[in-house]
Structure 1
Amino acid sequence: MPLPMYRGESESHMNARALAALPDPEPDMPPADDGANRIRNADPAAIMPALRALGQRAEREREQAAREQTAHRVPAVVRSGRLASTTFAMMHPIGCADLPAEHIACGYCGTPTTSGVTSKHNVTGRIVTYADGMTREEPAGGTADFGTCDACRERHDLAGALIDAHPAALRAIGSRSIAVHRLAGALDALAVLGVETPREMTTEALGDLIRILAPLGIGARWSARFSPIIAADADMKQAAAKPWQHVRLVPLRDLRKAYGQYLAHRQPPRMIPCPTGGCMLCGVAAVFARRVDEPWTAASLKASVVRGRSDASGHLCPTCSEARREAGHYALDAAYLEAVDPTHALRRKQPEPPRFDDGLTAWVTTGRAPSAEPFAWTDLDRMRKLMVTSGW
């Protein structure tokens, strides 16, 4: 029978174990110079029981290790339509603790509460971790039931009040229930970060808050660990040790980054200069934009578009970029008309938009320095008078 070797064990250690299991040598046996010689010179009838015992001992140790690893990977099951069993029954995930008797976990911050069941979440699958460390999603059914603590209920009531105070934000979303759900998720994201919940805000700030933070806040809730897919370490008999302490490092990092973007959006706009000096069409040097925006659009224009001798490459300001998108080959005319009549008050009186084919060229062909105002090298006031009198 071959001598079993333990994981990470060298041959010398294996020989030493076999040597220790042998009986003492007879007085007339020649002295052994090392363990290997002693094993070779030993009686086969004496060494075989020792090797067999070592093999049985190694097998028992492997089985015990497998049982211990499996005990920490008990798959979650659903009984009678409700989540009943647990995963990681012998150890708590970071930030979690045993759920006290007569309590239910809050579906938002995860802390124990005595509110009773206030929400039911459908379960469609579960993540099962096997003894070899592999994970796999398996189908499941039933519901996961949660309560609502006082702090989370107050925060979500505030979300409803804020939506009611901003009808424009409600119209942008369409449904009040969906709007409240999204804003509550955004306020949950602020609670995870420890930011004080705002009691008043503008409609624009409310929209930015929902757009940037709502998805991450909803994903950070305690119920997201159980619905629709039960996480491998999710346990209905556990709760968060402290509010939101169950949120992992990666989601927490994403929340901090998103909150920084929200703060940047709320800063007043600033002048952002053109990366290539000025807009290719109107020649403006800088535009107002928020700190997180990128107002300048890189573009390449044909010579017929800029009305020059060769093609041009550079950047377009937001106004000229929109004119190019709408007017195509006549982007220069559309951009110039926007500078002449920014309110569209004059062009409403004309049956067709004017074409400035004579003399008008793009800034990139003029060789002039960029300016603070669009088309500063042209007479915009004269063109406005011509539009009023239909004399263009």
Structure 2
Amino acid sequence: MSTSPTKPTVPLVATLFAGSLACLACGQGVPEDSAVTTLDVTGRVVFLPALGVTKVQAVEETVTFRECWPCRDRDDVAHAALVALPGVAARYGHGNAKHRLRLALDGLAALGHRPPDKLDAAEVSALMRHLTIPGGSARWAARFAPVMAADADPATSALHPWSHLTTEQRAALREGYGALLADRVARVSPPPRLAPPEGDPQACAMCGVGSVEVSAAEVHCHGGTVRAREHVWRPVRFNAHVLGGPRTPSAQQGNLCPVCSDETTKAGAVGAEAMEGSYLRALRSEGRTDEVASIRQGAVPRLIGWAGHDLSETSAGRPPVPPNEKPWEHILVRRRVATPCNSPSST
């Protein structure tokens, strides 16, 4: 069965009234009662009939626009939101952040949505992440600057707000809005627990925790559970004896949870110093301040990392050690702390 080719979208435009200019965002005509914005045009798309192709011809022109009051209001909304969020403004630079947020709000408007009532840091970041690019591409001014489209005419305006949008532009806006909605759902969803990546030992090589809690929003930002696992867990290679286990002829492959990864970075290697730092953090989280004080005074217990303990058990013909529900549970709960002495040094 044959199918008809998709009919291209033709922008719905109209000739401007005398003295009017098109709104740089929604494209509708604006009379002479607002400020003019001038943009530089550095190129123009031209059609070459003999070759049946288009090319960009370099030009040096300018094109002028105005803003209708609904679009101007979105600029005020973006400014007010960033004044209330100095951290976001500082991260991107106030001018850059305002521009990006304004483009995202334009994207919402093109879909018929008003700015959100609550523009906190998470919502502003999500808007800029998902709608800045499609929102910027949807503006009327994007047809003219910096490169003017072949069918763009400065003497025209959109027939009605956003009527110039193509099928592709509307699809990009809907895709961005869908991602924004998914982001909103993730922010209020319960935080999932992520195990190490599939195929790897299913516990942290040092503290033995089998999963770590992350926000649903973070999982969404990474594109799903698989990539979030790869981001949260740090892959490492080590010899089991640096974690208190038996020496082996080859290095072991494992993963570190965020806490143990942080302590390993501080120490410079997987080993005694990193284990001690991670163990102290676990004691503090359990409220065992007396033991923390004792270790600080030099009574360092013989720490056995989960991977070293697991290898010791399996080498002796005993069952593998299951992952811990809490960090260092194989020591804190099962009381496997030996007579205080220094743990094996890292190599």
Q: Does 1:371 align with 2:324?
A: yes
Paired position in structure 2 for 1:281: 206
TM-score (ref. length: structure 1): 0.63
Partner Cα separation in structure 1 for residue 272 and residue 124 of structure 2: 37
Paired position in structure 1 for 2:161: 243
Point out where structure 1 has 5 or more consecutive residues left out of the alignment.
1-91, 384-390
Q: 1:154 to 1:358 in 2, by over 3 A?
A: same
Equivalent residue pairs, number: 292
The alpha-carbon deviation at position 223 of structure 1 amounts to 0.9
* Contact 2:234–2:257 under 8 Å retained in 1: no
Q: Does 1:303 align with 2:243?
A: no
Higher RCO, 1 vs 2 (CA within 8 Å, ≥6 residues apart): 2
1:309-320 matched pairs, under 5 angstroms: 309=248, 310-320=250-260
Paired position in structure 1 for 2:72: 153
Structure whose CA Rg is larger: 1
* Contact 2:205–2:305 under 8 Å retained in 1: no
* Contact 2:204–2:256 under 8 Å retained in 1: yes
Paired position in structure 2 for 1:98: 14
Q: What is the letter of the counterpart of residue 145 of structure 1?
A: T
Q: String of CA shifts for 1:338-371, please: whole Å, max 9, x gaps.
A: 3522789x9xx9xx9x997944224375131112
SS in structure 1 opposite 2:182?
A: helix
Q: Does 1:128 align with 2:81?
A: no
1:37-56 matched pairs, under 5 angstroms: none
The alignment-based identity, stated in percent, is: 29
Q: What is the letter of the counterpart of residue 100 of structure 1?
A: L
* Contact 1:108–1:148 under 8 Å retained in 2: yes
Partner Cα separation in structure 2 for residue 251 and residue 154 of structure 1: 23
SS in structure 2 opposite 1:98?
A: strand
SS in structure 2 opposite 1:137?
A: strand
Partner Cα separation in structure 1 for residue 244 and residue 177 of structure 2: 46
Paired position in structure 1 for 2:280: 340
SS in structure 2 opposite 1:261?
A: helix
Partner Cα separation in structure 2 for residue 140 and residue 117 of structure 1: 25
Q: What is the letter of the counterpart of residue 201 of structure 1?
A: L
Partner Cα separation in structure 2 for residue 145 and residue 137 of structure 1: 21
Partner Cα separation in structure 2 for residue 356 and residue 301 of structure 1: 25
- Picking from 211, 220, 233, the partner of 2:151 is 233
**Mean Cα deviation higher: 264-273 or 188-197:** 264-273
Q: What is the letter of the counterpart of residue 302 of structure 1?
A: F
Q: What is the letter of the counterpart of residue 374 of structure 1?
A: P
The alpha-carbon deviation at position 128 of structure 1 amounts to 1.1
Partner Cα separation in structure 2 for residue 101 and residue 179 of structure 1: 35
The alpha-carbon deviation at position 197 of structure 1 amounts to 1.2
Partner Cα separation in structure 2 for residue 248 and residue 322 of structure 1: 49
The alpha-carbon deviation at position 323 of structure 1 amounts to 4.1
The alpha-carbon deviation at position 146 of structure 1 amounts to 0.8
Partner Cα separation in structure 2 for residue 264 and residue 93 of structure 1: 29
Partner Cα separation in structure 2 for residue 258 and residue 364 of structure 1: 47
Partner Cα separation in structure 1 for residue 14 and residue 109 of structure 2: 23
